[in-house]
Amino acid sequence: MTKFSDLKLDPKVLKAIAEAGYETPTPIQEQAIPHALEGRDVLGIAQTGTGKTASFTLPMITRLGRGRARARMPRSLVLAPTRELAAQVAENFDIYAKYTRLTKALLIGGVAFGEQDKLIDRGVDVLIATPGRLLDHFERGKLLLTGVEVMVVDEADRMLDMGFIPDIERIFKLTPFTRQTFFYSATMPPEIERLTNTFLQGPARVEVARQATASETIEQALVEFRPSRRDRAASEKRRRLRDLIEAEGERLTNAIIFCNRKVDVDILAKSLKKYKLDAAPIHGDLDQSLRTRTLDRFRNGELKFLIASDVAARGLDVPAVSHVFNFDVPIHPEDYVHRIGRTGRAGRDGKAVTIAAPADAKFVTAIEDLLGKPLPRAESPAQTADAPAEDTPTAPAADTAAAEPKRRRRGKPAEAKAQPAPESVQPEPVKAEAAPVPAVAAPEPEQTARPRAEPKPRAQPRRGEDKRDDRRGQVVGMGDHVPDFLLREFRAS
């Protein structure tokens, strides 16, 4: 059996490895480190949790043991897709380089530029960064990449999903052609294949497992969930998750629960807290300091449930995660492999449970096609208890009965209006027949129809008649009763 002492690493590195408690390298470390020490480019294809970080960190420290860093010109560069993965690489570097004099800088978003500029100005041997923040420093004139000897691209397929490939291509062109490149990815889609053919020179291909396969130490289960009503789907799904957590009992020491959307991460975290479950959210919209504190609490065992988006699915190294719950089925099947890879690490046993609604059928099919086998179905512990409430035929009848009074209430006003209508119309024809009047007194029915005495309005002329005809024999402003003296004719004497 191969040991680290057989891999021709620097004695200072071997001492740090022994103190960390490692003796035997993982398959990807055993195959990649000899090629890396020879100076060859390495293309590594391995599932998450197989020790990829150490496979490039250990030979990098050994190579950089000779030489000195210059201001603003890092000697090596490690690119990671997320802040958490970059911070994890930095922690591994601190562990393995503790007996060397190598320096490092971590360039990630959410941290002030000033502190990072000071580190770069002193000169660093290892620069660990996310692509966006690295290019920000470069465009500000604070960083030169012409002195990079070793370049690492970690989780390349995640870079592709996050839209970082144009940035990666630009960074490659800013580094020397003579650099040594480590390129790691769990899957090899066509775009990643094109990138490796363009920027890697005769790489040693290291593939320790079939692409996009889950560890054999992970027990997988798919729980099919059918809500009773569409408007209750979210709450019933959260109840189903609580039932699954309760059913695991003492076997569940801690768990990561994945959601597809950031808003659902916050909602689920609040819901679990409401039911006295120790949970906290983590996603890309949270402040970096809060994300770091939450991860530290989870690693230290102070937090039991970490509710996460896919920002935590890649590279989050917590060795003793007993369970992973997929509250939402991932849209991309590769994300399923990375999510469940948070448990069952370093040979430990783990369990991954996925809750799938009928609308998730196509995503489940894609995952099963990628894995090459069906996901084992499992019954929910709450399925038997919920079945009478969901399947009972009286439930729709109750809804119908509740809806019928509303329809009757809507009909009552219409009937009430239809019945009094003849009563209100009936007196008018009776009055017209009982009190016939001559044609001269035509305005009189209008007066009798009024409830109180009011001045009789002036008759309106019919359409087409001259309004002046109504004023004959009248004086404007006096109405029908004009004094006689006003109508007399006076002759001049």
Q: What average pLDDT score do residues 124-131 get?
A: 95
pLDDT score, position 490: 66
265 and 180 both lie in a single domain: no
**Residue 120 included in any domain:** yes
Pair 57, 115 in one domain? yes
Compute the distance between CA of residue 128 and CA of residue 87 in angstroms, rounded to an integer.
8
Instruction: Examine the pLDDT at 42 and tell me if it is beyond 70.
Output: yes
In one-letter notation, the amino acid at residue 238 is R
Q: Please check whether residue 482 is in contact with residue 475, taking contact to mean a CB–CB distance below 8 angstroms.
A: yes
What does the pLDDT read at residue 29?
A: 92
> What residue numbers bound the domain in which 194 lies?
4-207
Same domain for 259 and 186, yes or no, is no
376 lies in some domain: yes
Number of domains the chain is built from: 2
What does the DSSP assignment read for 95-163? HHTTTS---EEEE-TTS-HHHHHHHHHH--SEEEE-HHHHHHHHHTT----TT--EEEE-SHHHHHHTT
Structural domain includes residue 151: yes
**Residue 28 clears pLDDT 70, i.e. is over it:** yes
Of residues 479 and 331, which shows the higher confidence score? 331
Domain match, 120 and 139 both: yes
Are the beta carbons of 75 and 152 closer than 8 angstroms?
Answer: no
> What would the two tokens of residue 70 be?
């210059």
**What's the whole-model pTM score?**
0.62
Over 80: is that where the pLDDT of 420 sits?
no
Same domain, 178 and 254: no
Whether 38 and 151 share a structural domain: yes
| 263 neighbors 307 (Cβ within 8 angstroms) | no
Q: Report CA-CA distances (Å) from 175 to 43, 143, 203, 313.
A: 18, 12, 17, 29
Q: How far apart are CA 62 and CA 375, in angstroms?
A: 43
> Where a domain ends, among 358, 390, 422?
390
Q: Would you state the pLDDT for residue 1?
A: 67
Residues 354 and 222 in one domain: yes
What are 148-197's pLDDT values in tens digits? 999 999 988 888 878 899 999 999 999 999 999 999 987 788 889 999 99
More confident residue, 229 or 208: 229
Same-domain status, 374 and 255: yes
Which of 390, 410, 437 marks a domain boundary? 390
257 in the same domain as 142: no
What whole-number distance in Å separates Cα of residue 295 and Cα of residue 301? 10
User: Tens digit of pLDDT for each residue in 133-152?
Assistant: 999 999 999 999 999 999 99
461-477, pLDDT tens digit by residue?
555 444 444 445 555 55
| Each residue's pLDDT tens digit, 340-358 | 888 887 678 899 999 999 9
| 324 and 229 co-located in one domain | yes
Residue 302 domain flag: yes
- Identify whether residues 285 and 171 lie together within a single domain: no
- Is residue 486 in some structural domain? no
Same domain for 246 and 181 = no
Quick check: 455 pLDDT over 60?
no
Q: How many CB atoms lie within 10 A of CB 354?
A: 27
Residue 207 has what pLDDT?
87
Q: How far is CA 322 from CA 277, 330, 478, in A?
A: 16, 20, 103
Q: Is 397 part of any domain?
A: no
CATH code: domain of residue 240: 3.40.50.300
Determine the longest span between alpha carbons in the chain, in angstroms: 152
Paired residues of 153 in beta bridges: 79, 183
Q: Report if residue 27 sits inside a domain.
A: yes
Torsion (CA) 136, 141, 146, 150 in degrees, nearest 10: -30
Tokens 């960190």 belong to which residue? 57
Determine the average pLDDT of the residues in 28-53. 88
Residue at 470 is within a domain: no
